[in-house]
Amino acid sequence: MTGPLTILSEEETLFRDAVTGFAETEVRPRVNEMERNAQMDRTLIDKAFAMGLMGIEADEAWGGAGGSLTMVALAVEEISKVDASSAILVDVQNTLVNYPVNTYATDAQKERYLTQLTAGKVGAYALSEAGSGSDAFSLATRAELRGGTWILNGRKMWITNGYEAEVYVVFANAKPEAGYKGITAFLIERNFPGFRVGKKEDKLGIRASSTVELLLDECEVPEENVLGPVGQGYKIAIDTLNGGRIGIGAQMIGVAGGALRAAVDYVKERKQFGKALAEFQGIQFQLAQAATELEAARLMVYNAARLRDGGHDIVREGAMAKLFSSQVCERVTSLCVELFGGYGYTRDFPVEKFYRDAKIGTIYEGTSNMQLQTIAKALLR
C-alpha cells in the first residue's frame, strides 16, 4: 500500500473497527476485576482466539488469518486504549511466539504447534534470565543432546504470558564455548518432564498480564523440537524482537491514546472558576502538545510496521518507534493524571492505571538505553 501511513485499506479499517468493538464490549467490562485479581479472564482469552486475534499474522494454512504486522499493531493499539494487559497477551502471541514458529519452524512443527497457537493455546517467549536482562545473550541456560533428547537446565525470568501458556519458545546455549553462536531455540510444552512454571511477579502495571519465572531442571525436549538450526537462536531471537518492538510501540500509543481520550472528556465536564477546564488556554495548549507528540509516535509505529510488511530492514526504525512511543506515553499519561487533579490519583478514575501501565514500555523488549544503543550503531556504522 502506498499513500499516507494512517490511511488504512478497507480491510484494515474493517479489522480495526472490529477490534475496537471487541475492546469495548468484551475487554472493558472485565478490566477492573482482572486488575484486582492480577489475572487474565480465561473467557476473554477464549474470545480473543475465537475472533482470530491470536493468529493475525500466521499463515492461513496453519489456522492464522494471513494478515500483516500492521494489523497486529492496529489490534494492539485499539485494545491498549482500554487495557494494556489484554493487549500484551495478543501482542506476545502474535509477534514473539507465532512469528518465529511461522517463520522458522518445519512444516511438521507448524502442524503440531502453530495450529494450536492459532486455535486456543497461549504461547510465551523465554529469552531473559536473572543475570541476563539487557545483555540477553549471556545465557546461563544450557542444552545438551543426550541420546536423541535435548536436556535443558536453567531458569528464565520475566516471561510474559508464562502463567497461561502451554507452548514456550525457549532459548538455551547448546555450545557455550561458541558464545552467542551456540544459542539455540526450542519449542517446549508445559507438560514436558523437568519443566515448571515458577513464581508469578506482583507488578506496578500491566497487572493482569502474567510475568513468571520458568524452571528447567533436566528438562527433556525431543530432538525434533529444535526451532531452526542449532546455533541459530541468536538470529531468531533478534529477528523476532525487532518486530516485537513495533508491537510494544503500538501498545504505548494505545495507552497514551486511551488516557488522552479520558482526559479530554473530563476537562470538558469539570468546572473551576465558573467555566470548564477545557476553556482555559493553558489546558488547551497542554492537550494540543500531547496530541501532537502522540501523532508523531503513531506515525513512527505505523511506518515501522509498514516497512516490516514490505520486507525492509527495520532494526533502526523499530528501535526508534519503541523508544519514542514509550517516552511519549509516559509524558502523556503523566499529564492526564495531573489534568484530573486529585481524582487522577485515585483508582475511581481510569488515568492512574494508564499511568502505571505506561512505565513498562521503557523496560521490556529492550530498555530505552538499549534502543538508543541500537539507533546509535545504525547511525555511526
* Closest listed residue to residue 54, CA positions, set 110, 93, 85, 92: 93
Query: 148-164 b/e with 16+ CB inside 10 Å = b?
Result: eebbbbbbbbbbbbbbb
Q: What's the rounded mean pLDDT across residues 107-113?
A: 98
| Span of 92-96, 115-119, 131-135, 347-351 with lowest mean pLDDT | 131-135
- The single residue of 26, 78, 293, 365 carrying the catalytic annotation is 365
User: Quick check: 17 pLDDT over 70?
Assistant: yes
Report the relative pairing of strands 123-126 and 167-173 from DSSP bridges: parallel
* Amino acid, res. 79: I
* Amino acid, res. 255: V
Burial class (CB in 10 A: 0-12, 13-18, 19+), 25: exposed
What is the Cβ-side half-sphere exposure of residue 6, based on CA atoms within 13 angstroms? Answer: 9
Q: What angle do the packed helices 281-309 and 233-269 form, to 10 degrees?
A: 150
Q: What is the pLDDT of residues 240-253, one digit of tens each?
A: 999 999 999 999 99
**pLDDT band per the 50, 70, 90 thresholds, residue 1:** very low
Q: What's the rounded mean pLDDT across residues 308-322?
A: 97
pLDDT of residue 135: 82
Can you say whether residue 231 is alpha, beta or left, with left for phi > 0 and alpha for psi between -120 and 50 degrees?
left
pLDDT of residue 132: 83
Topology adopted by domain 234-380? Butyryl-CoA Dehydrogenase, subunit A; domain 3 (1.20.140)
Between 209 and 134, the more confident residue is 209
The single residue listed with the C-alpha cell 486504549 is 81
User: Quick check: 84 pLDDT over 60?
Assistant: yes
Q: What is the pLDDT of residues 171-195, one digit of tens each?
A: 999 999 999 999 999 999 999 999 9
Q: Respond yes or no: is residue 365 known to be catalytic.
A: yes
Q: What is the pLDDT of residues 222-276, one digit of tens each?
A: 999 999 999 999 999 999 999 999 999 999 999 999 999 999 999 999 999 999 9
The rounded percent of the chain whose pLDDT value lies above 70 is: 99
pLDDT of residue 137: 78
**pLDDT band per the 50, 70, 90 thresholds, residue 3:** low
Burial class (CB in 10 A: 0-12, 13-18, 19+), 97: buried
User: Could you state, in order of their start, the residue ranges of all structural domains in the chain?
Assistant: 10-121, 124-232, 234-380
Contact, 236 vs 72, CB < 8 A?
no
pLDDT of residue 138: 87
pLDDT of residue 286: 98
pLDDT of residue 42: 98
Query: 175-203 b/e with 16+ CB inside 10 Å = b?
Result: eeeeebbbbbbbbbbbebeebebeeebeb
Q: What's the rounded mean pLDDT across residues 280-285?
A: 98
Topology adopted by domain 10-121? Butyryl-Coa Dehydrogenase, subunit A; domain 1 (1.10.540)
User: Quick check: 147 pLDDT over 70?
Assistant: yes
**pLDDT band per the 50, 70, 90 thresholds, residue 136:** confident
pLDDT of residue 50: 98
Contact, 252 vs 297, CB < 8 A?
yes
Does the domain made of 124-232 have the CATH classification 2.40.110.10?
yes
